[in-house]
Amino acid sequence: MKFVSFLIHFPTCFVATIGDVVVSFAALLFIILLKQEKSPFIPYFRVGLTPILQMTFLLPLSFYLTQKLSRIIR
């Protein structure tokens, strides 16, 4: 693989970093809003409802998006 200048990749990496910061900040705000409200608690699992819903929806969604993106990249 041939060496490519840092300056060529910098703008793309910088935009990606800004995107990561925005997504992280949005997640933080979402968590703060959820913490202000009393989340329903599932006694059997000893866990709140929010983590259960997160795993229920985000895990299949991540597999679906990974499959879609792998087809586009190839």
Indicate if the pLDDT at residue 1 is higher than 60: no
Residue type for position 13: C
CA–CA gap between residue 18 and residue 37 (Å, rounded): 29
**pTM attached to this predicted model:** 0.44
Burial of 21 (0-12, 13-18, 19+ CB in 10 A): exposed
pLDDT confidence of residue 3: 63
Task: Pick 66 or 41 by higher pLDDT.
Answer: 66
pLDDT confidence of residue 18: 92
pLDDT tens digit string along 18-60?
989 999 988 888 887 777 767 677 788 788 887 888 888 898 9
pLDDT confidence of residue 11: 84
Q: Where are the domains of the chain?
A: 1-37, 41-74
Specify the DSSP element, H or E, that contains 26. helix 6-36
